[in-house]
Chains A and B, each alone.
Chain A
């Protein structure tokens, strides 16, 4: 299974090879790891790796896998899920809210041509303004938000299409893995 830590590009590959009682063998990025997993009555469990014992818990929410290892939180998406958000010829076809907040300004209109690095939307969340920019040259296909609107984490704000191409070709651009 391919996993990508939320917000990160690097993909990790993890597979549980075997589980016998508490013993567990996994392959992580081609490297074999063995661990002891003890489930707890209260939920989650402890995982011993390399002589260290971690308290772990996990849950799935929609496409995201939430994990707690001790006090630290992780969230992962499946590699394939992450790829769905990529369109052909574009670094990112969908501009989504990286955090919940309020749309302060929308700086482009539909059919506008934009260049890499051009700011598209300004969000305000938790006392700071964040400008979201196009990662590559593109045409604004759809603007889905207006100033003043509250948006959730991951909300689709703007759809982009490749610079001089027919926007309808975008769907075919999703690779299987």
Chain B
């Protein structure tokens, strides 16, 4: 078997996923190189790796999206492989090609696969050719053709960016007079985000589920599927709660989806880990896109299949064959905790972590880069961590999630943990009444006004203002050090009461 050895791996990412990748590499005896921006010099992923290289300024374009700087860091550190994580450069064909030209193994699909599947129009055409159902849509958008298409299939319709992802450059058009503005806005957003202003139209499914299939492919043409993930609970077209298996999905639909994903993977000559996303409407499913990388929500698959997907990616990159997975066990649920203000439109929040309490126990995993003192800034995605709970069945996994949230607290950064707890506790979630409309529907339910909880919050706030000035409580020691702690008084003082 023509195996290549990876001895030193550069992780072209930050945050929880960088740490996640470092952990698997270390287990395999591979040395790790972290890269970081000026804003991340004190971040946990930098300390977690065997060595670290500064690659540029805080702005992602100058650091985590800077292909030249990353390739240079890989060369300079003697790394023989680079893992892109998710987001940033993970789906950029030019990054995979640049690595290859530099003689560095890219842990992901080859450049041509990334290029084909990254172009949503090309991917749709490939899916259709592989007899994978696609949502009725239109590629070329002349305003007049767009109007005809809308008239033909009915409103609402969805405008999407050809080079897009993560909800950017996406617009729902409810009425024809909004069509031109939506095309313009989606195209502008797409050009700004992806440097590609092409957009296309699709029928908008009002209440679909989002279900995806994990695939692994090797360079010998073998592809395998590792079950599905239900990812319907989203805000701004981005997932926040995922679970596996997809509840209520019929065995025949599940089998048909897995079969379709494998057909598409073979047609694309897919290599490494990937995810084929579908919209599901009853027993009908439609191809959405292929994510040509490790997904954020990969841990729920790892738990059910007892595997390590990062290790699988590295083994594939070293030329090993993929093996058929065993039968999946139990149920796993993931909640993504973001630095956002859920009740106010999930607005991004920033701040410094004053203190955090992390849950533990059977079937509880928390993937994070947070430590006390960590600064959450505005430069990067606000994912703080992923709480992943598993059990023999959905009810046990759900119960563990609720118990874990009861142990969980992050003080200092407004975050979505309280919202996630409510969502998992909700009757809608218990019934598995899931669709991409879940959060809107949850917010439209009568709010449960928890007076005791809001009283507790107000009393806690009042107690914080009662605490004397910090210097006095420290026996006259003045806060002469210019640290982010200087302005934080209440919590520190409580330790001494």
Contacts and interface: CB of A to CB of B under 8 A. Distances in A.
Interface of A: 1, 3, 6-7, 12, 14-16, 24, 26, 28, 33, 35, 37, 39-45, 47, 49-50, 52, 54-62, 65-76, 98-101, 125-129, 150-153
Contact of A26 (B185, B452, B462): B462
A88 to B, nearest CB: 27
B418 A72 contact: yes
Given A39-B497, A47-B460, A65-B464, A60 B236 contact: no
B460 A57 contact: yes
Nearest to A76: B461
B415 interface: yes
Contacts of A70: 405-406, 408-409, 418, 421, 453
A101 B378 contact: yes
B344 A58 contact: no
A6 B382 CA distance: 19
A126 B383 CA distance: 11
B351 to A, nearest CB: 7
B462 A100 contact: no
Contact of B491 (A28, A54, A59, A99): A59
A28 B206 CA distance: 44
A33 to B, nearest CB: 5
B494 A74 contact: no
B349 A99 contact: yes
B151 interface: no
B378 A67 contact: no
21 contacts: A14-B462, A16-B463, A16-B466, A43-B355, A47-B459, A49-B456, A49-B459, A50-B452, A56-B456, A57-B355, A58-B464, A67-B411, A71-B418, A72-B457, A73-B411, A76-B457, A98-B344, A100-B349, A100-B377, A101-B348, A126-B381
Nearest to A150: B378
A116 to B, nearest CB: 21
B338 to A, nearest CB: 9
Contact of B460 (A7, A67, A150): A67
B461 A67 contact: yes
B371 to A, nearest CB: 15
Contacts of B381: 126
A23 to B, nearest CB: 12
Nearest to A104: B192
Contacts of B494: 39-40, 43-45, 57-58
Interface string B475-497: 00000000000011111101101
A58 B463 contact: yes
Interface in B153-174: 166-168
Nearest to B405: A71
A1 B382 CA distance: 33
Contacts of A35: 455-456, 459
Interface string B401-425: 0000110111111110110110000
B452 A60 contact: no
Contacts of A52: 452
B354 interface: yes
A33 B459 contact: yes
B195 to A, nearest CB: 16
Contacts of B464: 58-60, 65, 67
Contact of B166 (A33, A60, A65, A127): A127
Contacts of B144: none
B40 to A, nearest CB: 16
A57 B411 contact: yes
A27 to B, nearest CB: 10
Contact of B167 (A57, A60, A99, A127): A127
Contacts of A33: 455, 459
Contact of A3 (B236, B382, B458, B487): B458
B406 A66 contact: no
A90 to B, nearest CB: 22
B72 to A, nearest CB: 26
Contact of A60 (B185, B355, B458, B488): B488
B347 A60 contact: no
B236 A128 contact: yes
A116 B411 CA distance: 37
Contacts of B236: 126-128
A56 B460 contact: yes
B458 A59 contact: no
B139 interface: no
Contacts of B152: none
A16 B462 contact: yes
A127 B411 contact: no
A61 B405 contact: no
Interface in B448-474: 452-453, 455-467
Given A57-B409, A57-B491, A101-B348, A73 B462 contact: no
A28 B458 contact: yes
A152 B375 CA distance: 13
Contacts of A12: 458
B173 to A, nearest CB: 16
Contacts of A24: 459
A54 B355 contact: no
B259 interface: no
